[in-house]
Amino acid sequence: MLLFLRPLAEQFVKCNLGNGRIAHFWHDSWTSLGPLIKVMGDYGSRSLRIPLNARVVEALGVNGWKLPLSRFSSARTWDAIRPRAPELDWAKAVWFKGAVPKHAFNMWISQLDRLPTRQRLASWGHIQSFDCCLCTIETESRDHLLFSCEFAAQVWRLAFSRLCPRQRLFCSWAELLSWMRSSSTSAPSLLKKVSAHAIIYNIWRQRNNVLHNNLRIAPLIIFKIVDREIRNIISSRYHRKRWRNLMVLWIR
């Protein structure tokens, strides 16, 4: 019976604020509104940036209440409403600090196996031919186009001559991710990720050039484009500690 009377009794219970060192900001009835947690809910603590277990004195500053400025922040809004999920094991290979946005986006689409390769287009009934645009021999799947196609293989071999001379060609996407995660003094993971992003982006772009513009460029020229892009990426981030030694490792 006493529990049923609790809401009624709360109307008559008031907190002696004093110096604010004892009264809880959210849970005690120190304002005419009653406990603020009931007024603003759990989100109130995040909104005002005052911890749930804070005392009233902790919300006071020299010039009054320590409340956030009333400015809209798209970043904070997105952080509050975006869905949360565990980080996937491939995330850091795709999204990392310093990645080129267009390279990272293309890498993400590739990771999800959503590139509109001829194999996928044919499965949708849009085209009849499955043949790879670059070698015209095998079926154009993601792994063939980016790894086992002779055109792509030549580009990768040129990159390996800089990074890992003994590295064999990848047979699958999983092997690429494993290679990107591994790190050594001569080939840091960051340099591997930057180079892989640039290579995959430019192989896919060349595939589109052949398909849409009938423009064929030799693998050596594509690698020179990749080389220039990687140099530019490293140069523009040279002031960051993790990037300072990458140029020496790449051009050796």
Give the start-to-end residue ranges of the domains of the chain: 6-81, 91-251
- Residue 57: which of 102, 85, 93, 19 has the closest Cα? 19
pTM flag (> 0.75) = no
pLDDT in tens, 182-241: 999 999 999 999 999 999 999 999 999 999 999 999 999 999 999 999 999 999 999 999
Residue 34 pLDDT level (bands cut at 50, 70, 90): confident
pLDDT of 25: 78
pLDDT of 113: 97
Does residue 151 sit in helix, strand or coil?
helix
Residue 85 pLDDT level (bands cut at 50, 70, 90): confident
d(CA 224, CA 222): 5
Q: Is the pLDDT at 2 greater than 60, yes or no? A: no
Q: Is the pLDDT at 75 greater than 60, yes or no? A: yes
d(CA 196, CA 179): 10
Q: Which residues of 156-170 are buried (b: 16+ CB within 10 A; e: fewer)?
A: bebbbebbeeeeeeb
pLDDT in tens, 150-181: 999 999 999 999 999 999 999 999 999 999 99
Q: Is the pLDDT at 62 greater than 60, yes or no? A: yes
Q: Is the pLDDT at 148 greater than 70, yes or no? A: yes
pLDDT of 39: 77
Residue 138 pLDDT level (bands cut at 50, 70, 90): very high
Cα-based angle 117, 100, 191 (whole degrees, multiple of 5):
95
